[in-house]
């Protein structure tokens, strides 16, 4: 099914039958991907004296409990409640599910033992008119990253000056294929998170989201997409998420 939509007086077309998920799989078998010492994903059948919620164990149906840490067990979308003392919830953040997105591939810079995305690199992005969602794919883009334990690997992060520039370009929804926009060990500064949400500040960006631990396959070309952010309606700061993107073209 093809749809047309207008953004800043430009008409785009997207094929909703050709969506691509750029999310990782949440698995209770291999427990990966994982980051920040998060416990394994756990899926266990409900058990009582006369009931077992597992067909493989003789039950009449599958009826299981799920234990998951949204921030550490795969693709997730978070709101400012992640760093705020006030109760901001992901269920209240996303008032719109579809956004004009731009996918860009960046080879991070290196300094000492760190790899990061610099302001100089994001300044080279040709931000398209009307884009409010930025998706960054980092190099090397290894398929193994979909099933990786990132804990204590000092993954790539976003320099806070780069994040400030991204905000200045009108980006409300930011996505990246690493566990966090901030350094794994940053002494609790969380500079990139704070810059993105302007927290604490007078005008906190309560409708803005960060999605981490995506995976955009290398055969998907950079360019414009319609992004669909799917989250659970949780009264939490974050939710496991499925991100679908649809290639768009101007009409």
Q: In this predicted structure, what is the pLDDT of residue 29?
A: 65
Residue 201: predicted pLDDT: 87
The structure's pTM equals 0.95
Nearest of 234, 245, 215, 240 to residue 133 by alpha carbon = 245
Of 221, 222, 122, the closest CA to residue 181 belongs to 122
Cα 180 from Cα 224, distance rounded (Å): 24
* Structural domain count of the chain: 1
Q: Which residue from 76, 89, 65, 93 is spatially nearest to 38, judged by alpha carbons?
A: 76
CA-CA distances (angstroms) from residue 14 to 3, 135, 137, 231? Answer: 5, 18, 21, 21
- Residue 4 has a CB neighbour count (10 Å cut-off) of 10
Find the helix or strand (DSSP H, E) in which 164 lies.
helix 160-168
Pairwise CA distance, residues 60 & 79, whole Å: 39
| CA 168/CA 160 separation, integer angstroms | 12
**Structural domain boundaries enclosing 180:** 2-250
Per-residue model confidence (pLDDT) at position 28: 61
The pLDDT of residue 109 is 98
Alpha-carbon radius of gyration of the chain = 19
Pull the structure tokens for residue 155.
């993954």
d(CA 229, CA 244): 7
Phi, psi values for residue 196, rounded to 5°:
-65, -45
| CA contacts within 13 A on the Cβ side of 251 | 13
- pLDDT for position 1: 85
202: CATH:
3.50.30.50
Q: CA-CA distance, 41 to 28, in Å (whole number)? A: 5
- Are 103 and 222 in contact by the 8 Å Cβ rule? The answer is yes
Per-residue pLDDT of the chain (251 residues; tens, 9 = 90+): 899 999 888 999 999 999 999 999 876 667 788 999 999 888 999 999 999 999 999 999 999 999 999 999 999 999 999 999 999 999 999 988 899 999 999 999 999 999 999 999 999 999 999 999 999 999 999 999 988 999 999 999 999 999 999 999 999 999 999 999 999 999 999 999 999 999 998 899 999 999 999 999 999 999 999 999 999 999 999 999 999 999 999 88
């Amino acid at each position: 099914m093809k749809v047309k939509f207008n953004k800043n007086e430009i008409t785009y077309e997207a094929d909703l039958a050709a969506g691509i998920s750029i999310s990782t799989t949440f698995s209770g078998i291999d427990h990966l991907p994982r980051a920040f010492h998060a416990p394994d994903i756990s899926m266990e059948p409900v058990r009582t004296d006369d009931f077992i919620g597992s067909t493989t164990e003789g039950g009449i149906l599958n009826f299981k409990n799920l234990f998951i840490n949204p921030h550490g067990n795969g693709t997730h979308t978070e709101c400012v409640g992640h760093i705020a003392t006030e109760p901001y919830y992901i269920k209240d953040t996303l008032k719109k599910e579809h956004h004009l997105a731009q996918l860009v591939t960046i080879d991070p810079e290196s300094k000492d033992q760190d790899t990061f995305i610099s302001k100089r690199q994001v300044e080279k992005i040709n931000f398209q008119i009307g884009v409010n969602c930025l998706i960054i794919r980092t190099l090397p883009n290894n398929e193994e990253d979909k099933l990786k334990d990132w804990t204590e690997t000092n993954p790539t992060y976003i320099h806070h000056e780069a994040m400030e520039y991204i905000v200045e370009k009108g980006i409300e929804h930011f996505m990246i294929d690493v566990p966090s926009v901030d350094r794994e060990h940053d002494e609790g500064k969380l500079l990139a998170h704070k810059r993105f949400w302007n927290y604490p500040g007078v005008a906190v960006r309560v409708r803005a989201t960060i999605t981490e631990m995506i995976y955009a396959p290398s055969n998907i070309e950079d360019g414009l997409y319609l992004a669909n952010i799917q989250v659970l309606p949780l009264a939490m700061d974050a939710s496991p998420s499925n991100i679908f993107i649809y290639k768009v073209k101007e009409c």
